[in-house]
Amino acid sequence: MEKVFRVVVALLPVLLFLAALRLLDSYKLVSRSKVGASLAAGALAAGLCFGINTAIFHQFSAYQDQIARFGAPVVEELAKAAFWIFLIATARVAFMVDSAICGFGIGAGFALVENVFYLEVLDGRAFGTWLLRGFGTAVMHGGVAAIGALLSIYLSERRQWRGVRQFAPGLAAAMLLHSLFNQGVLSPSSSLVATVVGLPLVFLVVFYFSEQSLHSWLGGKLDQDIEMIAMIASGEFRQTPQGKYLMSLNDFLPPEVLGDMLTLLHLNLEISARAKGDLMLREAGLEVPPDPALEGHFKELRYLEKSIGPTGMLAVRPLLSQTPRDLWEMHHILR
């Protein structure tokens, strides 16, 4: 019975925390499959770090304490960051809410594997050890990864940073927080309280402002999409700056290619509006049934892109919004 209790305390808190984060997401941006992939990525990172850290400890056995405090956080956060950076860089994650959930999921997967290992290594230790590992260390692993991902999305949204400078600050923050935890700046009990109380407060504030921003973006962009669709249908689009730009290409491209460009723009706007509408329905707690017409729309998009050709696509791309959030819409509606 005592062993079962240790297992529950070591493994359950971080999973409950992850479930709570997902429940807080009123838009349900993160699917179960993405949460599962994040957990699996974290578990894989833990296995990789076990091999790397073991080799480093054996090679520099006289400096194990320093490595645990300063070196291990660098290795572990790099391994965990690989997946959340991939999700953000490929626009599979585009909002602070879903970045926090996926980042925490990666850290949770890492912590689960790590704590399973320690259940054997630290067998017989006092209950306080498992309380600290389950509520402290495990939640820390999820929290610092989530903070790193959150910061990267913030820099993308607010400052339009891309590439290395978008991800470097978040990764550095995760490493620093992890290292401070390992150094025992606070007592074990204080670290546990700071982690269990502090992180939920941080996430509540972030989720509130993130969802306010998301709600504002959805309303504004949906209105823009619908207005542009109406202008294309009525012919007023030709009088807009976008329409004048498209018409200026008449001297360089055949009329049929210009027609395909206009159709491509119209179809992109329709899909974008559909994705935003789905999110609003989800926020209201309604299930969104699959749209059988979507597959045909995406087939038509691919056909139009091929028909327009590489040169034409370069010319029309300024009219197709390609921000991370716009690219995310395509992933969202395709899943």
Comparing 50-54, 148-152, 218-222, which segment has the lowest mean pLDDT? 218-222
Are residues 19 and 130 both part of a single domain?
Answer: yes
C-alpha–C-alpha distance, residues 275 and 310, integer Å: 27
Residue 334: band (very low, low, confident or very high) from pLDDT cuts 50, 70, 90: low
pLDDT digits (tens, 9 = 90+) for 39-66: 999 999 999 999 999 999 999 988 989 9
- List all residues 6 or more positions away from 238 whose beta carbon is below 8 Å from its beta carbon: 244, 247
Query: Is 117 part of any domain?
Result: yes
Q: How many domains does the chain have?
A: 2
- Domain-ending residue, one of 189, 205, 221: 205
- Domain-ending residue, one of 153, 186, 205: 205
Query: Is 239 part of any domain?
Result: yes
**Containing domain of residue 87, as a range?**
2-205
Query: Is 215 part of any domain?
Result: no
Region 214-231: what's the mean pLDDT? Answer: 82
In this predicted structure, the answer to whether residue 165 has a pLDDT above a threshold of 80 is yes
Region 6-11: what's the mean pLDDT? Answer: 82
Per-residue model confidence (pLDDT) at position 138: 92
Query: Is 244 part of any domain?
Result: yes
Looking at the chain, the whole-number percentage of residues with pLDDT higher than 70 is 95
Query: Is 76 part of any domain?
Result: yes
In this predicted structure, the answer to whether residue 332 has a pLDDT above a threshold of 70 is no
Query: Is 282 part of any domain?
Result: yes
Are residues 192 and 297 both part of a single domain?
Answer: no
Are residues 198 and 89 both part of a single domain?
Answer: yes
Are residues 81 and 10 both part of a single domain?
Answer: yes
Three-class SS of residue 62? helix
Query: Is 121 part of any domain?
Result: yes
CB atoms within 10 A of CB 188: 14
- Domain-ending residue, one of 162, 190, 205: 205
The residue whose two tokens read 């706007």 is 269
Region 20-34: what's the mean pLDDT? Answer: 85
Cβ atoms of 76 and 171 within 8 Å: the answer is no
Number of residues that make up the chain: 335
Are residues 169 and 281 both part of a single domain?
Answer: no
Whole-number Cα distances in Å, 203 to 92, 121, 175: 20, 33, 19
More confident residue, 82 or 9: 82
**Secondary structure string (H, E, C) spanning 216-273:** HHHHHHHHHHHHHHHHHHHCHHHHCHHHHHHHHHHHCCCHHHHHHHHHHHHHHHHHHH
Are residues 37 and 121 both part of a single domain?
Answer: yes
Are residues 240 and 196 both part of a single domain?
Answer: no
Are residues 319 and 174 both part of a single domain?
Answer: no
Cβ atoms of 267 and 301 within 8 Å: the answer is yes
Query: Is 225 part of any domain?
Result: no
Per-residue model confidence (pLDDT) at position 124: 66
Per-residue model confidence (pLDDT) at position 294: 75
- Supply the pTM of this predicted model: 0.81
Are residues 185 and 280 both part of a single domain?
Answer: no
Given its phi and psi angles, is residue 28 left (phi above 0), alpha (psi -120 to 50 degrees) or beta?
left
Per-residue model confidence (pLDDT) at position 111: 95
C-alpha–C-alpha distance, residues 102 and 22, integer Å: 10
C-alpha–C-alpha distance, residues 236 and 27, integer Å: 34
Are residues 179 and 314 both part of a single domain?
Answer: no
Are residues 183 and 262 both part of a single domain?
Answer: no
Q: Encode 126-156: b = buried (16+ Cβ within 10 Å), e = exposed.
A: eeebbbbbbbbbbbbbbbbbbbbbbbbbbbb
C-alpha–C-alpha distance, residues 177 and 114, integer Å: 18
Are residues 196 and 327 both part of a single domain?
Answer: no
